């Protein structure tokens, strides 16, 4: 009898795992699947198990191509299955082409007299997905806020960050979801970051990969009225509950779509942006609406210098900006 052995975290079984198990079983007559214990899963993935360990073993054992299931507990990185492997003495260790520990496994196979076989990742008949992606989707929020920024916009773009500068922004309601979105799309309220977060993606990475800044996902996830340090990554300086703004804000759609990646590298007055950010920081710290309005007017002056169209005049308006 030709024995085949496979090992992995297998936290949430998906179609890709089933395809791999089926192809591994085709290499021999008997297939043993080793999955990571809770401790090993934490070492490898830095997360708790999604399924209790006994349930996981029962589910894998129920698969028609699987003959035996064992649990990897060896703390040697990449070889949590070592004790079972040496005990069972399989003929083949089947791995995927992206195996991170191939050298160590090659050595183990030589020690046990087994063959090391690499199987290509055959795409399942469904869209490919990983356990990590499933976990992210499960953990994704159902609703998130959008955001308004008052000053310091563009200082969150890593290449334009300045020591001593700040980004001042706040989360707004109503909340949005994948099914309910009551704002105009591409309106400059952080919608792309919100959409990424709702889909279980890392919002900061998503925005940085677009070549823009991190302020949108940062405030969407933090909520409240926040002051952030300008820098390569989000670093919260301090936070208010936002009560100072209650009943004092209005949002008006200008009928101009906002495309941040297209304008991120435009020439703009970063000295004035920097000054506005410091003024806004002080205003929020003091909870002073008049000071905050002055910082917003400074930010608006930058936008006018860039050639943006003037916003409509509104009676009793303290300040306005895009």
Distance, in Å, from the CA atom of 70 to the CA atom of 174, rounded to the nearest integer, reads 49
Residue 50 confidence (pLDDT): 84
pLDDT tens across 234-269, in order?
999 999 999 999 999 999 998 888 888 888 999 999
Question: In the chain, what percentage of residues exceed pLDDT 70?
Answer: 97
Residue 257 confidence (pLDDT): 84
- Report the chain's mean pLDDT, rounded to a whole number: 93
Secondary structure class of 38 (helix, strand, coil): helix
pLDDT of 129 over the 70 cut: no
| 133 vs 275, residue with greater confidence | 275
Q: Which CATH number fits domain 3-137: 3.40.50.2300, 1.10.10.10, 3.30.450.40, 3.40.50.620?
A: 3.40.50.620
pTM of the model: 0.65
Residue 322 confidence (pLDDT): 94
pLDDT tens across 32-83, in order?
999 999 999 999 888 888 889 999 999 999 999 999 999 999 999 999 999 9
| 274 vs 135, residue with greater confidence | 274
DSSP E strand boundaries for the chain: 3-8, 30-36, 68-72, 92-96, 115-119, 144-151, 166-176, 225-229, 236-240
- Are 173 and 182 in contact, with CB atoms under 8 Å apart? no
Distance, in Å, from the CA atom of 17 to the CA atom of 100, rounded to the nearest integer, reads 17
pLDDT of 125 over the 70 cut: no
DSSP state string for 216-268:
HHHHHHH-SEEEEE-SSS--EEEEE-SGGGTT-------S----HHHHTTS--
CATH fold for domain 140-305: Ribosomal Protein S5; domain 2 (3.30.230)
Distance, in Å, from the CA atom of 141 to the CA atom of 74, rounded to the nearest integer, reads 35
Could you tell me which of 187, 105, 107 has the C-alpha nearest to residue 146?
187
**Which range, of 119-128, 173-182, 241-250, 302-311, averages the lowest pLDDT?**
119-128
Equal CATH topology for 3-137 and 140-305: no
pLDDT of 126 over the 80 cut: no
Q: Where are the domains of the chain?
A: 3-137, 140-305
Residue 131 confidence (pLDDT): 66
């Amino acid at each position: 009898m030709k024995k085949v052995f496979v090992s992995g975290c297998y936290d949430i079984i998906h179609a890709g795992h089933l395809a791999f198990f089926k192809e591994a079983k085709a290499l021999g007559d008997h297939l043993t699947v080793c999955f990571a214990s809770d401790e090993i899963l934490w070492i490898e993935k830095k997360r708790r198990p999604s399924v209790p360990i006994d349930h996981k073993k029962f589910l894998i054992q129920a698969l028609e191509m699987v003959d035996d299931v064992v649990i990897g507990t060896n703390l040697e990185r990449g070889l949590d299955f070592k004790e079972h492997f040496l005990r069972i003495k399989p003929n083949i260790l089947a791995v995927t082409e992206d195996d991170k520990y191939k050298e160590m496994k090659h050595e183990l196979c030589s020690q046990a007299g087994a063959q090391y076989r690499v199987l290509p990742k055959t795409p399942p008949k469904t869209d490919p997905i990983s356990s990590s992606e499933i976990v992210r989707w499960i953990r994704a929020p159902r609703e998130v806020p959008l955001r308004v920024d008052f000053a310091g916009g563009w200082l969150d773009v890593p290449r334009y960050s300045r020591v001593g500068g700040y980004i001042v922004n706040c989360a707004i309601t109503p909340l949005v979801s994948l099914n309910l979105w009551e704002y105009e799309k591409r309106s400059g309220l952080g919608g792309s970051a919100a959409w990424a977060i709702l889909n279980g993606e890392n919002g900061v990475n998503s925005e940085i990969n677009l070549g823009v800044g991190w302020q949108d996902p940062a405030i969407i996830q933090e909520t409240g009225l926040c002051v952030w340090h300008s820098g390569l990554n989000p670093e919260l300086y301090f936070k208010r509950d936002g009560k100072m703004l209650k009943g004092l804000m209005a949002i008006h759609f200008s009928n101009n779509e906002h495309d941040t990646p297209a304008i991120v590298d435009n020439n703009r007055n970063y000295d004035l942006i920097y000054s506005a950010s410091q003024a806004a920081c002080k205003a929020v710290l003091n909870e002073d609406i008049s000071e905050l309005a002055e910082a917003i007017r400074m930010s608006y002056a930058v936008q006018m210098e860039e050639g943006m169209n003037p916003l409509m005049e509104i009676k009793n308006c303290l300040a306005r900006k895009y």
